[in-house]
Structure formats: C-alpha cells, structure tokens
Chains A and B, each alone.
Chain A
Amino acid sequence: MAGNNSIAPVDIRFTVNGQEHQASVEPRLLLVHYLRENLRLTGTHVGCDTSQCGACTVLLNGQAVKSCTLLAVQANGANVTTIEGLEKDGQLSAVQEGFWEKHGLQCGFCTPGMIMAAEYLLSRNPKPTEVEIRQALEGNLCRCTGYVNIVAAVQYAAEKMGGAHVSR
C-alpha cells in the first residue's frame, strides 16, 4: 500500500486566522505542511518533526497543538490560529509585544511556537506563576536563550493583559 498513488484525496474545510479555506488534500498531508506550503503561512516552523520541540505549535479550536503531529484532515471543521493571526490592525498581541520588549529570543526559530504556547497558557490562566509558565512551555524547546527572557516575556504579557483589565 505504501507509495500507492491512487489514494483518494479528502475534501476538507477549515478556518485559518479567521479566513475560511477549502481544499482537497492527500490524507497523509500534515497540518504544518498545509499551512506552510499551501497557505504560505511560514511562521509555523518545522523543527524536530517528532512532536518534541513545539516550533510547529498552533491553536486548534483554541487549544495548543503540534501541527507536525496532526493530519490536515484531522483539522477538518476546526478553527486554526497561527502566529500570523495574532497581530490585529498592526498591533502586536501582548505576548508578541512581551517577546519584543523582554528580548525573549535569540535566533528566533522557536519563537512562533513559544508565543502560541504562551497565548494558550494565558487564555486558560491569566495570572500564571513562574512555575506555571515553565510548565506550560514544557513542550517547547529553545536552544539559545536559557528560557529566562522567554519567561519574562510571558510575565510581561500577563501583566499587560491583567493591567488592561484593572484599568477598565
């Protein structure tokens, strides 16, 4: 069966960053490749390709998932958010701003995945402790920073989002 070219494509339909997409895909197509190659949303990175490093993290119906370990067909009907979907009208999200302000990166390769995992954390837990931040980023590897500034970036975002709450 391997290498058989007569496999029927599957029709899928999902929303990516607020935009609806329909496609007919090979069943083995991974979500990350659909995002990068079909939609040219190349902010979602392929790092380890073995579900360890988290560079490919996107939100699927609001939940952080590793898009290298998901078939595009499994996202049928879902709402997908990638790093490109965070900025609104030229404004960075609080997490993106945190990574900028606190210099939460060096080479930047892991950054999109880190930011998506942090967005997911703050959507569930707006006031995380440092330990909770580190636990929430357990599925994301950075080989440059030592994580200190990444944690500071998430803390910055949590404060900023909380601050907006208080001032309202």
Chain B
Amino acid sequence: MYPASFAYHAPRSVEEAIALLAEHGDEAKLLAGGHSLLPTMKLRLAQPGHLIDLAGVAGLQGIREEGQRIVIGALTTHDELASSSLIRAKLTALAEAAAVVGDPQVRNRGTLGGSAAHADPNADEPVALVALEAVLVMVGPKGRREVPAVQFFEDIFTTALGADEVLTEIVVPVTSGKLASAYKKLPHPASGFVVVSCAAVLEGDGQRLQAARLGMGGLGGAPVRAAAAEARLAGQAPSEATLAAAAALVSEGTDPADDLYASAAYKRAVAQVYARQALTAAAERLRA
C-alpha cells in the first residue's frame, strides 16, 4: 500500500516547522515516528499534501531533569522512555506504559509526542501523563503555551494542540517528597491496544498517603482522572482494604462505549481490577 503523493519537508528548527505549517495550512501534517500517521496514510484515511518531518528538528530530543521537573522531548521514543533509568525511577508509571506500547519495533520508532498528539483513546502513555499531571508544551506563531494533560486530551483523536502548533516537550513535575507510581493494562488480545488501563500515582509514605492520583484509560474518549477513588485514598493508610475500596470507585461517572470485544459494563467492572493492581504495585513501591 502506498500513501497518496505528498511533498516532503525536513525543517531543522521548530521555527521552520511552524513556518511550514503556516504556509501549507490544512494540507500539512507533522511527522514524528510515523507509527500512527503512516499506517493511516497507507490506508488513505489521511492524505496530507505536505509532510513535515520533525526528525531533524533540533531541541525535540532527550530526557533531562531540571530541579523539580523532568522534561521529555516530544521525539523521545517509547523505547527510550521505557529504558531510561531516570523515568523508571521517578516516573515509573510512564516507563511501564511506554514498555507495553505496540511491540519492540514499534517502540523503536513511535514517540511520546506523537502518541500524545494523535490521542488514540486506547493509547497507553496519555493515561500515565494524566495521572502524573504532566504539562504539554506547544509552540506556534503566537508563541509558547503549556496545557495540563487532563485538558490537553479532549476526546477521541482530539487535543488542545492547534493546527498551527508543534508539540515540543512534555514536562512532568516531581515533588521532593516520596512518590511512587505504576501502570497496569488489559491489552486487546489482537491489537495490544488498551481495553482498560490504570496509572496510579501515590504520594506519602508506607503509613499514610498524602495524595493519590489515578488516570484511567479506555473508559471514555480521553483518559480521565478517577476523582472519587482519589478522594477515598487521600490521608489514608495504604492498606489492602483501603486500596480495594478505592479501586471499586474508579468507574464512577464514566461512560465507556461498547465495542466488539468488550461491553461498557465489562470495561467498568474490569477497570476496577486493573486499578487495584496498579494501586497495589504503587503502594509496594512507596513502602520500599
């Protein structure tokens, strides 16, 4: 299968990429790892007239720690995230989500920024970004802006990223206190995409949780925070019973869609199982 014809552009800077977007408007698409866009183009579901390849753009690569935050370049691949000792230690849920995207070949090419911008409702990393309260940084003709993940992911394949903007960085705050996280997923047996998943982030110590944040995937068009479960955990000791009681609340207020593999009722039920697994893993790490 060949994609439809397009003109290829290889800018060297974010400014150049923005200028190309401005010049070609709706006809242009940004190319990162290409593991969502190219399959879509091969199926002719997308037929952009201009492809702007970000691979050679300076400043979109790499993972670095800057004081109380970790800054991840948008072109960081899933494999780089999953293998990074910094991400594994401090943003474990994100490393675990990256490690179960697609397969090894896909993880070598697909990027965090690409996954975020594509916003597949059954993707892994957006769920972790929402739970970790990541901020997505984008640059456009009007300058730079930052949008929290929970607002960035608006709906199925829909984000706050403007058509004239480039997603450049994902910034994740890390507190000086103790923080542990985990990601658990029920994969679709054929595609490997998320049926339901949970990213759990716990702050505190083995005795008492200061705060808990839960991101849920597969329960809507975009990842959601499980507010009722989070409230149930705040200030509590992370006992097995408390974690289970909180996990039982994660589907509250959600309205997942039925699909050929899983009914909405099943997704709401099984989400609680994966939330409990994620909470248990995160609590074990908090105690360690």
Contacts and interface: CB of A to CB of B under 8 A. Distances in A.
Interface of A: 1-5, 7-8, 10, 26-30, 33, 49-51, 54, 57, 60, 63-66, 69-71, 73-74, 76, 117, 120-121, 135-136, 138-140
Contacts of B47: 1-2
A73 B2 contact: no
A65 B34 CA distance: 12
10 contacts: A4-B49, A10-B8, A28-B3, A49-B1, A51-B35, A70-B38, A71-B8, A71-B38, A74-B34, A140-B103
Interface of B: 1-8, 10, 27, 31, 34-35, 38-39, 42-44, 47-51, 53, 55, 79, 102-106, 108-109, 192
A120 B104 contact: yes
A5 B7 CA distance: 10
Contacts of A73: 8, 10, 53
Given A2-B47, A71-B34, A66 B106 contact: yes
Contacts of B49: 1-2, 4
Nearest to A27: B8
A74 B103 contact: no
B98 to A, nearest CB: 14
A63 B80 CA distance: 12
Contacts of A7: 5-7
Contacts, number: 96
A66 B102 CA distance: 12
A109 to B, nearest CB: 17
Given A7-B7, A51-B35, A28 B2 contact: yes
A28 B5 contact: yes
B45 to A, nearest CB: 12
Contact of A139 (B31, B39, B105): B105
A28 B42 CA distance: 9
Contacts of B104: 64, 117, 120-121, 135-136, 138-139
A49 B79 CA distance: 22
Contacts of A70: 34, 38, 109
**Which of B5, B7, B39 is most buried by chain A, counting CB atoms within 10 A of its CB?**
B5
B39 A50 contact: yes
A74 B5 CA distance: 16
B4 A3 contact: yes
A1 to B, nearest CB: 3
Contact of A28 (B4, B10, B192): B4
B4 A27 contact: no
In the A-B complex, list the 4 residue pairs whose CB atoms are closest, starting with the nearest.
Answer: A139-B103, A1-B49, A27-B8, A2-B4
A139 B191 CA distance: 11
Given A1-B6, A28-B3, A51-B39, A65 B103 contact: no
Nearest to B4: A2
**Which of B4, B34, B103, B108 is most buried by chain A, counting CB atoms within 10 A of its CB?**
B103
Contacts of B51: 27
A30 B38 CA distance: 10
Contacts of A49: 1, 42
A36 B6 CA distance: 22
A30 B2 contact: yes
A64 B105 contact: yes
B194 to A, nearest CB: 16
B106 A139 contact: yes
Contacts of B48: 1
B6 A54 contact: no
Given A33-B2, A74-B55, A76-B10, 6 more contacts: A28-B5, A65-B108, A66-B105, A71-B34, A73-B10, A73-B53
